[in-house]
Amino acid sequence: MPPKFSKPAAPAPAPVSCVAAASTKRQRLCPDYEDDIHCNLRLREKNAEERPLPDYLKKVQQDRVSESERASLVGWMDKFVRDHHLADGTLHHAVAYVDRVLSVRSLTADSGYELRLLGAAAIFVAAKYEDQRAVWKLKADKIASYGEFATGKEVLDMEREMVEALGYQLGGPTAHTFLGHFMRYAEEEDKTKILPLATRLVDQSLLDYTCVRILPSVVAASAIFLARWALNPVVDLAWNMELEKLTGYNCSDLTACVLVMRVFSRSIICNPCS
């Protein structure tokens, strides 16, 4: 049986200033609720109980897990999601679950096996959260076979302990959530060009430990900025007043994240249409 997890003790989230969610140039989809939805998403992403510690590898894991080992796990989880054709958003929620659990519980000596088991259980939970039909696609025994675990019971035990450690809070917004939220007014051309590239950038951000400390909304907005810049490298066109109103961020708010993302996604940006 995996060791019991302890629920994190966290302070109440700081108040957030909510910016009008909808564009003034395009028709609002749900005018009665959009601002409330936007405000709620921004509040939840700052909820300490649903955020990983920015330095958990050092503070909690005490270097039992390295940044490269975490990146390898995320890569394995990505392959798992793709091999099983799971719903969009599954990987982002699963990685968020892993980061949050590792922020409150240190691994044992056999960290490689336990880490992969945690990743598999996180996908199991995230898949069912995103699409209830996933219960027919994924079974504990099937996951055990894929991950080379001893039994399906190990997966179920880890799932139970993981959900408890998360305080049963499974729906916090991710960068994938915000990307869809920010691109909801996109014209067809943007959806066929900018959205796919921004999605690749947001997915790539999961591999980089630095992005753990950045709010998901900032990662999503920065991905849109970089995608627009890569497809049309004119600074004035990468961001505009409409996007600022839609996201609540201006260029200076995104600078630090854009610089981080530009480094690890250089190959994607240099070949945006590949």
In order of start, what are the domains of the chain with their CATH numbers?
54-165 (1.10.472.10), 175-270 (1.10.472.10)
Predicted structure pTM score: 0.85
Query: Which of these ranges, 134-143, 146-155, 181-190, 218-227, has the smallest mean pLDDT?
Result: 181-190
| pLDDT beyond 90 at 64 | no
12-47 pLDDT tens trace: 444 433 333 344 445 555 566 777 888 888 999 998
DSSP 33: T
Asked which of 163-172, 180-189, 195-204, 239-248 is least confident by mean pLDDT, the reply is 180-189
pLDDT tens readout for residues 97-110: 999 999 999 887 66
Dihedral through CA 249, CA 221, CA 263, CA 104, nearest 10? 100
Task: Tell me the per-residue pLDDT of 229-274, one tens digit each, with 9 for 90 and over.
Answer: 988 876 557 888 889 998 999 999 999 999 999 998 887 877 676 6
pLDDT on residue 265 = 84
Alpha helices in the chain (DSSP H): 34-45, 56-59, 67-83, 90-102, 111-130, 134-137, 140-147, 152-165, 175-182, 188-205, 216-231, 235-238, 241-247, 251-264, 266-270
Compute the average pLDDT of residues 160-179. 93
Average model confidence (pLDDT) for the chain?
Answer: 85
Q: State the Cα–Cα distance between residues 48 and 173, nearest whole angstrom.
A: 13
Nearest CA among 134, 167, 220 for reference residue 49: 167
Query: Range with the lowest mean pLDDT among 48-62, 131-145, 148-162?
Result: 131-145
- pLDDT at position 240 is 86
Report percent pLDDT > 90 for the chain. 57
pLDDT of residue 186: 76
